[in-house]
Amino acid sequence: MSASLLSWPGETVWLRVDVGLPMAARREAARLARRIGIDEERVGSVEIAATEAATNLQRHATDGALVLRVALEGEHASLDVLATDTGPGIADLAGALRDGASSAGTLGVGLGAIARLADVFDIHTLPGRGTAVLARFHADRDRPYAGGVEFGGLTRPIGGEEMCGDTWAVRYAEERATESDEDPESLPRPVLAMMCDGLGHGPQAARAGEVAQEAFRASRATRPQQVLEDLHRAMRGTRGAAVAVVRADFARGRLEFAGVGNTTTCVVTDGRRASLLSSPGIVGAHLPRARPVSADAGPGSVLVMHSDGLNDRWAADGFPGLFARRPPVIAAQILRDAGARRDDIGVLVLKQAPPR
Ligand SMILES: [Mn+2]
C-alpha cells in the first residue's frame, strides 16, 4: 500500500492583469469551485471575491496576477484565490480592512468584503513593493484538515509553456501505526516535503516531475536520503531533476534534509535564514551519497523550498511580518521579490499550524 499525499500543486491558473481579468477571474473561479464540490450558494461568494480581487488589481496595482488554485490538505480541498501585485502596497491596512472606509481610490477597496466572504483570509503588504491577498474557500466546511502543519506553494511554467517542470509534494513521513495516532492530544506527525525541478522545461521536464511525484507517493521511505534513492531509481530514463526532501517535525523542532542538484531550502526563524545545502548531482542520472543534514526548527520557524527559477539571494529580514502569515501569502511575496529568472518556478512553504 502506498502512502497518500497530503498535498501537491493541484490545478493552478495564473491570470495576468488585463482588461478582461474580472470576467476571466469570475469564470475560472466558479469552474474550479464547482469542480471541488463547493455548493452553488457558496459559488456565488467565490465569484464575488474573485471579481473584487481582480477589479482591485486592475484598477490599483502597478502590475500583478490573480492565481486560482485548488489547494489540497489530505482529503480536504479548498479553492485559493490569491492576488499578487508589484505595488504600490497599502499604507493603511487596518483602514482598508474596515469595509470601504477611507480607502476609496486605493488597492484596499473591497478587501473587507473579500475577508467576510472567505473561510480563510490573509494579507501581507510591503509599501512600494507589493501585496499578496489570500481568500480560501473550503469545499467541506465541516471537515477542516487538522494535521498540525500548514503548507502552501505555487508553481508557474516558463512563459510560452503549458506544463511546469517544477513540482512539489507533501506526505506523512510514516503511515499511521495505530488508531490512537488520531488522538487529538498526541503531537502532530512528521511530514516529508519534496521540491523537484525537472531539468530544462516543457513536456520532458514535466514528465520527470510526474515520475518524481509518483515515486514520492509510492515510497515507504521515512528519511529524506532514502526518499531520494527511491526517486533516483524511478527516474532513470527521464531527463532527471534537482530534488530536495525535508522531513519536518515542527512539534519536536527538528528538520532533516537531503538534496541533490540546484534548489534552495532554508529555515526562517526570527527574521534569520539558515540554508540547508544540497550536493551536486542529478536525480535519475547521478545520485551522490549525500550526507544527511539536520536543523532546528524552533517555535515560529518557517520552511521555504524553491527551485532555481527564483533567485535565492533574498533576505528573510527584508519581509517584516511576512513569516507570521499563511503559507500561500509567504510563497507569493517571496516569489515576487526574490526575482524570477526565465525558467519554471516552484516554491513551497511549510510551518506549524496555529493551535485550534
Ligand atoms: Mn529550473
Domain 149-352 has CATH 3.60.40.10: yes
- CA–CA distance, 213 with 195 (Å, rounded to integer): 10
Give the SS3 label for residue 101.
coil
Give me ligand 1 centre to Cα 224, in Å: 21
Give me ligand 1 centre to Cα 115, in Å: 35
The secondary structure element, H or E, covering residue 126 is strand 120-126
pLDDT in tens, the chain (356 residues): 445 789 999 999 999 998 999 999 999 999 999 999 999 999 999 999 999 999 999 988 989 999 999 999 988 999 999 999 998 998 888 888 876 554 455 555 589 899 999 999 999 999 999 999 999 999 987 777 778 899 999 999 999 899 999 999 999 999 876 555 556 667 889 999 999 999 999 999 999 999 999 999 999 999 999 999 999 999 999 999 999 999 999 999 999 999 999 999 999 999 999 999 999 999 999 999 877 899 999 889 999 999 999 999 999 999 999 999 999 999 999 999 987 788 999 999 999 988 76
CB count in 10 Å sphere of residue 100: 14
Give me ligand 1 centre to Cα 194, in Å: 15
- CA–CA distance, 159 with 120 (Å, rounded to integer): 31
Which pLDDT belongs to residue 102?
A: 44
pTM comes to 0.94
Domain extents in the chain = 5-138, 149-352
Which pLDDT belongs to residue 1?
A: 40
Give me ligand 1 centre to Cα 207, in Å: 14
Give me ligand 1 centre to Cα 310, in Å: 8
DSSP notation for 127-174: TTTEEEEEEEEES-TTS---SSEEEEEEEEPPTT-SS-SEEEEEEESS
Helix, strand, coil percentages, rounded to 5, for the chain: 30, 35, 40
Give me ligand 1 centre to Cα 119, in Å: 34
Cell of 148: 498540525
Give me ligand 1 centre to Cα 166, in Å: 7
Give me ligand 1 centre to Cα 168, in Å: 13
DSSP notation for 50-72: HHHHHHHHHHH-SSEEEEEEEEE
Give me ligand 1 centre to Cα 140, in Å: 35
Give me ligand 1 centre to Cα 340, in Å: 11
Q: Which of 65, 151, 160, 54 is nearest to 107 (CA)?
A: 54
Give me ligand 1 centre to Cα 341, in Å: 9
Give me ligand 1 centre to Cα 198, in Å: 7
- CA–CA distance, 176 with 131 (Å, rounded to integer): 39
Give me ligand 1 centre to Cα 297, in Å: 27
Give me ligand 1 centre to Cα 356, in Å: 37
Q: Where are the alpha helices (DSSP H) in 131-277?
A: 203-218, 224-234
Residue 51 has φ and ψ, to the nearest 5°, of -65, -45
Give me ligand 1 centre to Cα 307, in Å: 6
For residue 88, say if its preceding peptide bond is cis, omega within 30 degrees of 0.
Answer: yes
Give the SS3 label for residue 320.
coil
Give the SS3 label for residue 16.
strand
Q: Which of 155, 231, 143, 163 is nearest to 192 (CA)?
A: 231
Give the position of cell 502569515: 325
CATH of 5-138, one of 3.40.190.10, 3.40.50.300, 3.30.565.10, 3.40.1180.10: 3.30.565.10
Residue 324 is classified by DSSP as G
Give me ligand 1 centre to Cα 348, in Å: 14
Which pLDDT belongs to residue 153?
A: 97
- CA–CA distance, 346 with 331 (Å, rounded to integer): 9
- CA–CA distance, 24 with 18 (Å, rounded to integer): 10
